[in-house]
Amino acid sequence: MDAGPLSSLTKQQRVTLPRHVIDLGSHSLTTSAGEPVELRRQSLELLCYLASRAGSVVSKAELMDVLWPGVVVTEDSIVQAVGDVRRALGDEAHKVLQTVPRRGYRLIESLPPAPSNQIAAKPASLPRWRRVLAGAAGAALLFGVIAWQPWLPRPPRQDAARAALAVVGSRAGTPEEQQLSQGYAYELVSELSRNADLQVLAAQSGEAVGFGQETPQAVAHKLGAHYLVGISLQQEQDRLRLRAQLVDGRDGRVLWTRNENMAAADALSVRNDLVRHIASSVHYGMRRNEMASAFEKPPGSLDSYVATLRAYSLKQQMSPKGVQEGEALLDQVLAKEPDYAPALAYKSLASTLDATSFYSPRTLQQRAVALQQALNLAERAQVLDPSLPSAQEALALSSVFLGRYSESVTAARRCVELAPSNAECKWILSMVLINSGYPEESLKWGAETMAATPRPQPATLYGWGRVLWANRQFDKALAVYDDCLRQSPEAVGCSLERALTRAEAGVPGDARAELDAVAPIVRNTGRTLEQVAANFYDPKNAQFLIDRRVAAARTITREAESLSTNR
């Protein structure tokens, strides 16, 4: 790698940290044992420059001049890079890379070696891909033989260094109360996922089990969770009654129970305090984005907050009714509070799903207009709260369907940076990488998504199947689509992808039935099956995937025509 602004430094210079070594000659970071540590280019350059000035305070202005010469950037770029470096070094306490208030940053190299029993040392000293593989390999020893589907990665490792945590909403009460509890569970998962070292299972997995219908230990066992947080939320006039319970999934012990009676103005402070309480209880310090507190704003009314949580829960169902009911709730919120960033982000996501999942008949032009409106909503949410992962998720999703592939990948990567343990961010990144023509990298992020999603729902299965198809793992992809259609026979996206995969793999099937299953897509767009198959893929970088899809679509059409002729 080019050493960038460090090219004039002595080629043999090495800076030793408590658990890492920075080689300024090769412009690299390794653990003390010699294992390479991955960092984004700009973050690595920042680390190396600070290492070249070890012990000295380097101002933000100097860092911007050196690392971004001639480019107009904000201090947020430095904050992001510093956060990356601290995560890589396991520097949760900011003892190695210090912030000097109103002056800048200082890298300290002469610290004593960290004690071997430090919890953060093990996961932070290894690159993320090695931790993911180690987590998958360790699962078999801890759980024994579990009846997982053949296409699923092994469940994540359950150990003291990276214990899995599941957050599930109550399945008791009215449908509205269940939606409210599940929406709050999603919100907690999103915030907890900002911690790179805390392994948080995908929130959607909790919908398959539900807190309150089975014992907490049984729920934790089904999800493969070391710890379980159960959430019950009810609205009582102008107050919300919250009950949260942390349970040790191994023996069912209730570690603590917390009850809150809050108004809308208290919603964010209670949520953030609860997040810190959960994280500290499982021995992790929260590394929330340094910019978050400057932008987070509570909802103006309790009704708006409740409607937003319910809408998010409905959106996750990935059904026509759920998505459209969620959109209606968010329209009510935004009519009262047009600058409430979470509502803008969720509305963008729901609108994108509605426009691209063919839940309602629209012309291609109408869908394009709806997608542009969804992108506008996402951009507004991002401006109002740059630290909101769901805003980046919405940007990525709407951008890819508008053909803005590079912008889509950038937004998805930012989502992962903001919430390194968020399965939805990784799912979105794996999806847009396929459409942009990068199937190999999409496999990495798709596998991480599935490892954090022990009970995947149709939307996740649809995405994972596409990842497997793109990487020519046809048998596994077909098994995934079968599972998707067992859960949701109306999932026309899974029907389409299964038909294309079967045709390309040469697996016998009923082409006539497949065409009938995807007829709503063809009918609602007025396009041929070949045109539908090629839609939303980058013609510049993903032409090889488009060619595969079009060829498979033609095979299905020929097979169906042959069957009709023979009859």
pLDDT value at residue 66: 80
Q: What domains are there in the chain, each with its CATH number?
A: 4-126 (1.10.10.10), 163-288 (3.40.50.10070)
Question: Considering only CA atoms, which of 85, 93, 139 is closest in space to residue 114?
Answer: 93
What is each CA distance from 11 to 7, 15, 24, 47, 63, in whole angstroms? Answer: 8, 12, 6, 16, 21
Residue 362, token pair as written in the block: 């629209």
Q: Residues near 404 by Cβ (< 8 Å), separated by ≥ 6?
A: none
Residue 229, token pair as written in the block: 């947080």
Other C-beta atoms closer than 10 Å to the C-beta of 368 total 15
Q: Residues near 194 by Cβ (< 8 Å), separated by ≥ 6?
A: 286, 287, 288, 289, 292, 389, 418, 419, 420, 421, 422
Within 13 A of 276's CA, how many CA atoms are on the CB side?
6
pLDDT value at residue 35: 80
Please tell me whether residue 442 adopts helix, strand or coil conformation: helix
**What backbone torsions phi and psi does residue 236 show, to the nearest 5 degrees?**
-130, 95
Question: Considering only CA atoms, which of 98, 75, 76 is closest in space to residue 86?
Answer: 98
Q: 475-504 in b/e burial notation, b at 16+ Cβ within 10 A?
A: ebbbbbbbbbbeebeebbbbbbbbbbbbbb
192: left (phi over 0), alpha (psi -120 to 50) or beta: alpha
Tell me the Cα Rg of the chain.
24
Burial category of 81 from C-beta neighbours within 10 Å (exposed 0-12, middle 13-18, buried 19 and up): buried
What is each CA distance from 387 to 79, 297, 383, 391, in whole angstroms? Answer: 11, 12, 9, 8
Distance between first and last Cα of the chain: 63
What is each CA distance from 303 to 157, 239, 306, in whole angstroms? Answer: 40, 10, 5
- Assess contact for 24 and 48: CB atoms under 8 A: yes
pLDDT value at residue 210: 59
pLDDT value at residue 25: 74
In tens digits, the chain (567 residues) has pLDDT values of: 444 444 444 444 788 888 888 988 777 888 887 888 878 777 888 898 898 888 889 988 888 878 776 666 667 778 878 988 998 888 888 889 999 888 889 998 754 433 333 333 333 344 443 343 334 333 332 233 333 455 555 444 444 445 688 999 888 888 888 888 888 998 888 888 888 777 888 877 666 665 667 788 888 888 888 889 999 999 888 898 999 988 888 888 888 888 989 888 888 888 888 888 888 777 665 655 555 556 778 888 888 999 898 888 877 666 677 788 888 999 999 999 999 999 999 999 988 988 887 656 677 778 889 999 999 999 999 999 988 999 999 999 999 999 999 999 999 999 998 888 899 999 999 999 999 999 999 999 999 999 888 888 888 999 999 999 999 999 999 999 999 999 888 788 899 999 999 999 999 888 888 888 877 777 766 778 898 888 889 999 999 999 999 999 999 988 888 766 655
HEC letters along 339-372: CCHHHHHHHHHHHHHHHHCCCCCCCHHHHHHHHH
Q: What is the arrangement of strands in the sheet containing 227-236, beginning at the earlier edge strand? A: 199-200, 164-169, 227-236, 239-248, 254-262
Would you state the torsion angle of the CA atoms of residues 149, 451, 408, 60, taken in this order, to the nearest 10 degrees? 180
Q: Give the orientation angle of helix 423-435 with respect to helix 458-470, to 10 degrees.
A: 40
Burial category of 345 from C-beta neighbours within 10 Å (exposed 0-12, middle 13-18, buried 19 and up): buried
Distance in angstroms (rounded) separating the CA atoms of residues 564 and 567: 5
Q: Residues near 7 by Cβ (< 8 Å), separated by ≥ 6?
A: none
Does an H or E element contain 508, and which?
none
